Amino acid sequence: MFSVVPFLNFLSLGYLLEVSGRVARTKRLRDGFVGVRKAAVFGRIVFGAWLMMWPARFVSGMWQDAELIASGSKVAIGWRIALYLITILTVGHIVWACLRGGKLRHFFWPAPLRLFRWLKQDDKFGGVQQAVIDYLFNLRLGYYFKLGAFGFLGGLIWLMIPVSILIFASFTPPGLAFLISLVGGGLLLLVAMYLPFVQAYYATENRFAAMFELGRVRQLFRQAPIAFWTALLITLLFAIPLYLLKIEFPPKEIAWLPSLLFMVFIFPARLLTGWALGRALQREQPRHFIFRWMARLAALPVAFFYVFIVYLTQYLSWNGVFSLFEQHAFLVPAPMLSM
């Protein structure tokens, strides 16, 4: 949800960087599923509340139909009164279910005896208030926002020169524009090959300076070249389908879809990037030079295809040539910001 909201999408980027960093530090893929249990609590509450609202939706539809057929009639008034009563009861039931813990069984059974005992207590909300504070504190929103903001800034610095060259090429005569685009595209190709791992290394070290320690990242590549190539392939390949969302605005009814698609495609890529970095950190000696050069040569067509697709999107996006800064493989999901 946060992945398409300006500024709040730094939380999404920070979370994804933490996924890479945590997997790299622990060397375990399962540790990349950060905050799943905390998210499950919120998900259960949303799903349970959605189910409980169905009777109110049904009565609301009946009231609207009655108003269309005979506005102000006794039947319409009756349905409106019923809607008010059901809405009040439903909201109270949802609040009570949340106060009991927000599990699905709490939404299906109101536990009236427990409610009466709770109403008699002097300090009804003390424990609930502390539980909410602890839950919000454990979400570490400030940490994720900072991690995402600095990760975005570092990625933007890496992309600034090649993307600026490509943008400048669009304002020059055709012949010169082609040569300038080759230079910008070549630089973007090199950036695309290293930036995912530079960001993962930054998240692992939690130091902004680590975003520019290219020598260290190259050393780690030599220690796990095949894993690095696999992570690069998935990262760039999974980023390409999201560029289709730049062609036309999606309808309002499915405005939530880009957020879901972004997480579905980018989360596995960040997970594998951390896995590749973790494998490299486990080893002290470089792999055989045959594996290193095979990975380097195989990475070139992958990065070239990604740069080619990104270059073409400037002719499809509503933001034109400036859409080249919308690199959601490395930054926030900018292609969806205009929604």
- pTM assigned to the model: 0.76
pLDDT of 334 > 60? The answer is: no
> How large a percentage of the chain has pLDDT more than 70?
87
| Average pLDDT, integer, range 327-337 | 68
pLDDT of 197 > 60? The answer is: yes
Cα-Cα-Cα-Cα dihedral sign, residues 216, 219, 224, 226? positive
**What are the distances in angstroms from CA 339 to CA 3, 64, 257, 318, 335?**
12, 31, 11, 11, 9
Q: What is the pLDDT of residue 337?
A: 45
Q: What is the pLDDT of residue 140?
A: 82
| Average pLDDT, integer, range 232-256 | 75
pLDDT of 332 > 90? The answer is: no
263 or 66: whose pLDDT is higher? 66
Q: What is the pLDDT of residue 141?
A: 83
Interatomic CA distance for residues 3 and 144, integer angstroms: 13
Q: What is the pLDDT of residues 62-98, one digit of tens each?
A: 888 888 888 878 888 888 899 899 999 999 888 888 8
Residue 215, phi then psi, degrees to nearest 5: -60, -40
Q: Give the residue extent of every domain in the chain.
A: 2-34+141-336, 42-138
What is the DSSP secondary-structure string of 270-318?
HHHHHHHHHHHHH-SSPPPHHHHHHHHHHHHHHHHHHHHHHHHHTTTST
pLDDT of 105 > 90? The answer is: no
Q: What is the pLDDT of residue 124?
A: 63
